[in-house]
Amino acid sequence: MSTLKNGIVCSPAIHAPGEREITFSQAIREAVAEEMARDERVFVIGEDVAEAGSVFKVLVGLLDEFGADRVIDSPISEAGIAGIGVGAAITGMRPIVDIMFGDFTTLVMDQMINQAAKTHYMSGGKLTVPMVLRTTLGASRRSAAQHSQSLHALFSHIPGLKVAVPATPYDAKGLMKSAIRDDNPVVIFEDKMLYQQKGPVPEGEYVLPLGQADVKRAGEDITIVATSSMVYTALEAVDKLAEAGISAELVDPRTTTPLDTETLIESARKTSRALVVDEGYQQYGVTGELAAVIADGAFYYLDAPVKRIGAMNVPVPFSPAMEDLTIPSADYVFETAKAMCG
């Protein structure tokens, strides 16, 4: 049992078995450190990642453990370090490129979309780009429109890239390790608000496959699909639904590309209703794709149209009076799900 960011206590079903509890941040650090120890081709590059251990303190200690050749403080040159990541990956290294805020990934778009994503295909399978781009997503830190976006849909749109959006420490560690070992460019989005989130993570070695959803709560009446920190928002709604006599199933895809369509469709077929929640802008977003996949695959089993809830289609405003309105809330998820079951 553990206390989540919303102060609610969740059942062990959300977690993998294991006694030890560590934070999301520690889970990421462990994954990176284990992979660096295991494979000397792995290195980390980014702004303030070495001496400062990253601005969110996620990488503290790596510099001491692996030295300045493998944990590299870069200039504020996002396009440059992404390019270095691509080039180093093609020539035998396994770089982890750190982009502090997901908002700054706009600066690496050419390197990621036209270079990293295309190289393997364009070379007829000759070249590979085994790199990881780790970055953040999520609002609600009163950081305004250029430090609050959830831009994972942009990368999910691109064939050739893989995208992970872990919600729990357990998932974060397992997915990060797989991402580092993967022969493709993988972008990992970590919600800034989750770094202090604790959860059980086993001591031993494990990896989680990219492309495997996780049923975080089993239920009968409605499927709620949620990503990243929206898993906790949805979980709060699931508990409220239970009080209202509605049994909801919570499915976390964990990666948007590749997407575990099977689990999503199977769950929706079983419950006959589906609601998708994601913190990216709703328009042309992850919710649209997931809803379409479910509508397609479960059409004949559905008792209601598939619904989706994303962030409002506005730049994230600074004022607390406005910012909170733009993000999916547990109440809104609850009301929407309840209405669908009515």
Ligand X SMILES: Cc1ncc(C[n+]2csc(CCOP(=O)(O)OP(=O)(O)O)c2C)c(N)n1
Interface residues with ligand X (CB under 6 A) are 47, 76, 78, 100, 104, 107
| Closer of 85 and 317 to other proteins (Cβ) | 317
Note whether 88 and 95 are within 8 A (CB). Answer: yes
Strands of the 248-252 sheet, one edge to the other: 214-217, 248-252, 222-226, 274-281, 307-311
Stretch that binds other proteins, among 18-26, 57-65, 214-222, 310-318 (CB under 8 A): 310-318
| Closer of 44 and 306 to other proteins (Cβ) | 44
**Distance in angstroms (rounded) separating the CA atoms of residues 202 and 189:** 22
DSSP class per residue in 27-40: HHHHHHHHHHHH-T
Q: Under the criterion CB under 8 A, does residue 5 sit at the interface with other proteins?
A: no
How far is CA 177 from each of CA 38, 96, 124, 136, rounded to the nearest angstrom?
11, 11, 27, 17
Stretch that binds other proteins, among 111-119, 172-180, 246-254, 311-319 (CB under 8 A): 311-319
| Closer of 104 and 232 to ligand X (Cβ) | 104
**Distance in angstroms (rounded) separating the CA atoms of residues 314 and 52:** 33
Q: Under the criterion CB under 8 A, does residue 328 sit at the interface with other proteins?
A: no
Of 48, 87, 181, 272, which lies in the binding site for other proteins, with binding defined by CB under 8 A?
Answer: 48
Q: Under the criterion CB under 8 A, does residue 51 sit at the interface with other proteins?
A: yes
CA 255 to chain centre: 7
- Mask for 259-278, x = binds other proteins (CB under 8 A): --------------------
| Closer of 46 and 185 to ligand X (Cβ) | 46
Query: Maximum Cα–Cα distance for the chain, whole Å?
Result: 60
Note whether 179 and 209 are within 8 A (CB). Answer: no
Total binding residues toward other proteins, as defined by CB under 8 A: 34
Note whether 175 and 164 are within 8 A (CB). Answer: yes
CA 293 to chain centre: 19
- Residues marked active site are found at 78, 147
Of 114, 218, 313, 339, which lies in the binding site for other proteins, with binding defined by CB under 8 A?
Answer: 313
CB of 82 to other proteins, least distance (A): 12
Q: Considering CB distances under 5 to 8 angstroms, the limit depending on partner class, which of other proteins, ligand X, none binds residue 80? A: other proteins
Rg (CA), the chain: 19
Q: Considering CB distances under 5 to 8 angstroms, the limit depending on partner class, which of other proteins, ligand X, none binds residue 227? A: none
CB of 325 to ligand X, least distance (A): 25
* Subset of 141-200 contacting other proteins (CB under 8 A): 141-147
* Subset of 91-150 contacting other proteins (CB under 8 A): 103-104, 107, 141-147
CB atoms within 10 A of CB 339: 11
H-type alpha helices, the chain: 24-38, 62-66, 78-90, 109, 117-122, 152-156, 169-181, 230-243, 261-271, 286-298, 320-323, 330-341
| Closer of 56 and 232 to ligand X (Cβ) | 56
Q: Under the criterion CB under 8 A, does residue 321 sit at the interface with other proteins?
A: yes
**Which residues contact residue 326 at a Cβ distance below 8 angstroms, ignoring those fewer than 6 apart?**
139, 311, 312, 314, 316, 317
CB of 100 to ligand X, least distance (A): 5
**Distance in angstroms (rounded) separating the CA atoms of residues 76 and 57:** 18
CB of 166 to ligand X, least distance (A): 23
CB of 142 to ligand X, least distance (A): 15
CA 199 to chain centre: 16
Q: Considering CB distances under 5 to 8 angstroms, the limit depending on partner class, which of ligand X, other proteins, none binds residue 52? A: other proteins
Residues that bind other proteins (CB under 8 A): 47-48, 51-52, 55, 73-77, 79-80, 103-104, 107, 141-147, 312-315, 317-322, 325-326
